[in-house]
């Protein structure tokens, strides 16, 4: 499918700077088309690069064309555990994966997942209630499991009594155990696990040691891990550890992962409020798609946050709100954002209270496309995006894994 230029505009900023923008339909293999907005800045004065071209925003399409049922043979089959709303799945679908089984216990996340991946397999609930035998064959396991402590006390006693040991003993009762037992039963070609950066230091490193030993020594997988900051791809400082494993020896190395040196800024995800995008109520309203006033902080909340920050600053603490402009990179979006939005507040001028991000802007901040449907309340949407993976980071990891996974699966 060729690319099609559907709109273009050119604006002269000065004698030496010209800005151009155009909308372009791009093929999205296996899932329809994407409509991208590009900007190009050309300069002749030597103060800026002579030419830059980068995608700034996926425009909303009047129809959902991205997640139609895949036709043809997939590159591999995967299962999505602790799936949330499907961010990891999106990333892995970018290299041709087909999801054949999903588990997510939260009913609101299930609703968002099912809305955006319709007419497919049902979303299963509690992973602890799923029999490994009931899960269909798959090649790749992906999951972002909760960080829980492991108790290794009494292992020697269990050995002497002849009771189960190894990963069955060390991880029993944790949600990581559910991942381990499914891997042990199905022996997939590879897996990708994601967690908070603090997993590496949790219980002075003991938690991660048990995880690595379980995957590597007990289950026999080649294991790699790396902390990746989403700021390379998105205007957000968000560090997460990715754990990648292969059933067979490979030449995979995270050192070969290509990370952009300079990431985008918040203006790439904020509503332009100038009529260049369609209004999406209740997030934006009116002909110019202005941000709904309900996202602006009340005087009471804004005064409280300022007083709270001043109080802790006087004590030498770093607690406070994160006030940002379109030229900035934000703090980490968290699942508690629905409470007051304090970690990411958008400045609106010296005499105006700042505002929260809208749920659509949160979706963009996590790398979800603009045709991603948000069928839940603002509170639930904030929780879901705050708990999600950064989709472009998963895509980068997927691309790095692709040749090695392909080699293992080669007949």
Catalytic residue of the set 99, 147, 169, 362: 147
DSSP 318-363: -----EE-TTS-B----TTHHHH-TTSEE---TTS--BPPPHHHHH
Q: What are the angstrom distances between the C-alpha of 398 and each of 243, 360, 363?
A: 12, 25, 20
Q: How crowded is residue 63: how many other Cβ atoms within 10 Å of its Cβ?
A: 8
CA 110 – CA 179 distance, rounded (Å): 19
Nearest to 369 by CA among 3, 53, 83, 59: 59
* Helices and strands in the chain, H and E counts: 11, 15
**Long-range contacts (CB closer than 8 Å, 24 or more residues apart) made by 74-78:** 74/98, 75/406, 76/139, 76/140, 76/189, 76/405, 76/409, 77/136, 77/137, 77/138, 77/139, 77/140, 78/138, 78/139, 78/140, 78/141, 78/142
Across 152-205, where does the E strand assignment appear? 190-196
Q: How crowded is residue 352: how many other Cβ atoms within 10 Å of its Cβ?
A: 11
Q: Is 99 a catalytic residue?
A: no
Q: Could you give the residue numbers annotated as active site?
A: 147
């Amino acid at each position: 499918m060729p690319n099609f230029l559907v709109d273009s505009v050119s604006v002269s900023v000065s004698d030496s700077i010209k800005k151009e923008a155009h909308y372009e339909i791009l093929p999205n293999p296996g899932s329809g088309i994407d409509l991208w907005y590009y900007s190009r800045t050309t300069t002749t004065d030597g103060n800026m690069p002579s030419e830059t071209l980068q995608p700034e925003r996926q425009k909303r399409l009047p129809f959902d064309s991205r997640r139609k049922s895949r036709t043809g043979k997939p590159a591999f089959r995967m299962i999505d555990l602790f799936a949330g709303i499907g961010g990891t799945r999106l990333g892995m679908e970018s290299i041709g994966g087909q999801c054949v089984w999903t588990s997510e216990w939260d009913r609101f996340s299930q609703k968002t997942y099912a809305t955006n991946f319709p007419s497919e397999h049902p979303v299963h609930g509690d992973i602890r209630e799923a029999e490994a035998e009931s899960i269909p064959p798959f090649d790749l396991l992906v999951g972002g499991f909760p960080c829980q402590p492991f108790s290794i006390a009494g292992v020697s006693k269990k050995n002497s009594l002849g009771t189960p040991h190894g990963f069955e003993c060390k991880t029993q009762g944790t949600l990581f155990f559910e991942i381990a037992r499914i891997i042990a039963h199905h022996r997939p070609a590879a897996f990708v696990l994601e967690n908070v950066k603090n997993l590496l230091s949790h219980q002075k490193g003991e938690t991660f040691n048990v995880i690595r030993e379980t995957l590597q020594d007990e289950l026999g997988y080649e294991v790699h891990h790396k902390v990746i900051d989403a700021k390379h791809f998105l205007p957000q400082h968000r560090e997460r550890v990715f754990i990648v494993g292969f059933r067979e020896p490979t030449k995979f190395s995270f050192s070969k992962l290509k990370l952009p040196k300079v990431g985008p800024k918040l203006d790439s995800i904020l509503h332009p409020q100038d009529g260049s995008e369609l209004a999406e109520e209740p997030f934006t309203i009116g002909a110019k798609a202005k941000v709904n006033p309900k996202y602006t902080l009340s005087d009471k909340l804004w005064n409280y946050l300022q007083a709270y920050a001043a109080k802790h600053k006087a004590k030498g603490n770093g607690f406070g709100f994160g006030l940002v402009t379109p030229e900035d990179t934000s703090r980490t979006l968290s699942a508690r954002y629905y409470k007051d939005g304090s970690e990411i507040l958008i400045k609106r001028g010296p005499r105006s209270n700042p505002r929260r991000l809208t749920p659509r802007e949160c979706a963009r901040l996590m790398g979800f496309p603009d045709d991603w449907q948000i069928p839940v309340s603002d509170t639930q949407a904030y929780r879901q995006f705050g708990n999600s993976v950064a989709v472009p980071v998963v895509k980068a990891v997927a691309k790095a894994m692709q040749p090695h996974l392909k080699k293992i699966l080669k007949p």
